Amino acid sequence: MKRTPLFDVHQQLGAKLIEFGGWEMPVYYSGIVAEHLAVRQAAGLFDISHMGEVFVRGLGAAAFLNYILTNDVGRLRPGQGQYSLMCKPSGGVVDDLYVYCLAPEEFLLVVNAARIRADVAWLQEQCSQRPDPRQVRVEDASEQWGAIAVQGPASCRFIEVCCEGRSDRGTAVSVATELKKNEVAGFRFRGEEVFVARTGYTGEDGFEVVAPAGLLAPLWTALLEAGRPFGAQPAGLGARDTLRTEVCYPLYGHELDENTTPLEAGLGFFVALEKGDFIGRSALIAQKEAGVSRKLAAFKMIERSAPPRPQYAIWKAGADGMRVGVVTSGTQSPSLGIGIGLGYVATECAAPGTRVEIEIRGRRAAAEVVRKPIYRKAD
Amino acid sequence: MANVPSDLKYAKSHEWVRVAGDVATVGITDHAQHELTDIVFVELPEPGRQVAAGQSCAVVESVKTASDIYSPVSGEILEVNPELAGNPGLVNKEPYAGGWFFKVKMTRPAEVETLLSPEQYLAQIGPN
């Protein structure tokens, strides 16, 4: 199993470690619920160094990425990022990722840990088929770079500890808290460049800090020490999963794979069909015109039951109910105190308010399809 | 350091047994509740069901995962803890008291002797 540069730090913090996508990662430190609530109410620090960092550079980088990714890279100015998907010609998803424009000819992709190899192979294969492949350079820097996510409403109160002075790349700001959602900037930490982006995977305000591997341990310590007085605590993959499930963010391997399209996953907003040709476009246009036969739905349990889990069957409610789908993610919601989940269901059962049943160890428990996100912050 | 009361017997699969006559009360250990963390649901067997030692007969669900619970002894389920339906967190708070799972009327009380002593169970879970 692979270990991130923060492995020793996790052990010192008493983390419970598990295998995730080939990596030995903390699932929790104090407990999933406590860490989840800390992120909703104060802040949490996540080691996301298992994720991949891929730089795409060159004169042709922007045009190449716009052909590879579903969202419109043409809308990105230096210092801006966007959520995007990378599809096969069939429309099936190779990966979902964040793409940041660092400079007109330099982009950073942050990709899923378990997909690094598949993504880099796909990017290189596509690159080699370009009319002039020398105009695009794909560099997998996943071993040399890592990242820490700082998430939660209190993040703004201590994020500047990782930034020495003004940004010198990307969005021009004097402090990281001036970044707007999806903006990115290069700062210095101990003299080396780190990228701070205002984004995350929890539904809370927060930042992701991408840094050279050797800086991660001092960066983590600096952030945690600065954040403790504001209620920040280390948080593991367990809380990361419950947080993203509450706000219905997809997880590759659960909601997304090569046999699932972004339209089925409800991610049409991130598919710019009008931007010009890109891989998967004609299949996605055809699917949009024909209508999807299944859709990713969010649901809440409406009777007391064990929490829903991936692979559980979803049935239409009622005596004549048919099997209409399958759960892809499910848990007990720490914020709401009930079972929640995501799953693919026949399109006619995907409307909020539809009564369904989740089969849990042979027994069916009542649930209701709800609007996404399942959890919404009180304003 | 996990709490391992000296008056109980233990199964390798982290259940404890408290014996009174031919009735065994079963729960999960402090070490087990700590490893599972936040327990959100407990599925218990129907009273009257016959169980064999080592047979899975309950499920404990934490936020992260579902885990099977095995009866350490053979017999008939006499009673299940009615409090756990509404308050599964009792298993975390009081694993050896209010968080008990079920009682078994033992058909083979000698099986208790094959279970682990507190010292043996402590040795199994190691120091932490």
Instruction: Give the closest residue to A46 by CA, choosing from A61, A26, A64.
Output: A26
Confidence bin at A379 (pLDDT 50/70/90): low
Cα A121 from chain centroid (whole Å) = 21
Dump pLDDT digits (tens) for B60-70.
999 988 999 99
Query: What average pLDDT does this structure show over A151-178?
Result: 96
Nearest to B66 among A27, A242, A306 (CB): A306
Check CB contact under 8 Å for B63 and A16: no
Q: Which residues of B touch A307 (CB under 8 A)?
A: 40-41, 61, 63, 66
Check CB contact under 8 Å for B66 and A242: no
pLDDT greater than 80 at residue A249: yes
Please give, rounded to a whole number of angstroms, the shortest distance from the CA of B114 to a CA of chain A: 31
Percent of chain A with pLDDT over 90: 96
CATH fold of the domain at A7-51+144-246: Gyrase A; domain 2 (3.30.1360)
- In this structure, which long-range contacts are made by residues A344-349, counting pairs with CB atoms below 8 Å and at least 24 apart in sequence? A344/A260, A344/A264, A344/A294, A344/A295, A344/A296, A344/A297, A345/A294, A345/A295, A345/A297, A345/A314, A345/A369, A346/A293, A346/A294, A347/A291, A347/A292, A347/A293, A347/A294, A347/A295, A349/A297, A349/A314, A349/A316, A349/A324, A349/A325
Is A238 an 8 Å CB contact of chain B? yes
Identify the burial level of B27 via C-beta atoms within 10 angstroms of its C-beta, where 0-12 means exposed, 13-18 middle and 19 or more buried: buried
Is B83 an 8 Å CB contact of chain A? no
Please give, rounded to a whole number of angstroms, the shortest distance from the CA of B117 to a CA of chain A: 27
Other beta carbons less than 10 A from residue B21's beta carbon:
8
pTM above 0.80, yes or no: yes
Is A31 an 8 Å CB contact of chain B? yes
Check CB contact under 8 Å for B61 and A332: yes
The pLDDT of residue A377: 83
Q: Which residues of chain B have pLDDT under 70?
A: 128
Query: What average pLDDT does this structure show over A147-168?
Result: 96
Confidence bin at A2 (pLDDT 50/70/90): very high
Query: What average pLDDT does this structure show over A26-44?
Result: 97
DSSP A350-368: -STT-EEEEEETTEEEEEE
A29: nearest CA in chain B?
B37
Is B37 an 8 Å CB contact of chain A? yes
Can you give the residue ranges of every domain in chain B? 9-125
Please give, rounded to a whole number of angstroms, the shortest distance from the CA of B20 to a CA of chain A: 31
The pLDDT of residue A228: 98
Can you give the residue ranges of every domain in chain A? 7-51+144-246, 52-140, 293-370
Nearest to A306 among B35, B37, B43 (CB): B43
pLDDT greater than 90 at residue A21: no
- Supply the CATH classification number for the domain A52-140: 3.30.70.1400
Please give, rounded to a whole number of angstroms, the shortest distance from the CA of B3 to a CA of chain A: 18
The pLDDT of residue A40: 98
pLDDT greater than 70 at residue A352: yes
Residue A125 token pair: 């294969």
Dump pLDDT digits (tens) for A289-302.
999 999 999 999 99
Q: Which CATH number, 3.30.470.10, 2.40.30.110, 2.60.120.10, 2.40.30.10, labels domain A293-370?
A: 2.40.30.110
Residue A62 three-state SS: helix
Query: What average pLDDT does this structure show over A203-228?
Result: 98
Check CB contact under 8 Å for A361 and B61: no
Q: What integer best gives the mean pLDDT of chain A?
A: 96
The pLDDT of residue A320: 79
The pLDDT of residue B87: 95
Check CB contact under 8 Å for A306 and B64: no
Interfacial B residues in 39-78 facing A (CB < 8 Å): 40-41, 43, 59, 61-66
Other beta carbons less than 10 A from residue A358's beta carbon:
27
**Count of residues making up chain A:** 379
Confidence bin at A132 (pLDDT 50/70/90): confident
Dump pLDDT digits (tens) for A48-66.
999 999 999 999 999 999 9
Check CB contact under 8 Å for B37 and A306: no
Query: What average pLDDT does this structure show over A210-231?
Result: 98
Q: Which residues of A touch B64 (CB under 8 A)?
A: 27, 32, 238, 241, 331
Q: Which CATH number, 2.40.420.20, 2.40.50.100, 3.30.413.10, 3.40.140.10, labels domain B9-125?
A: 2.40.50.100
The pLDDT of residue B15: 98
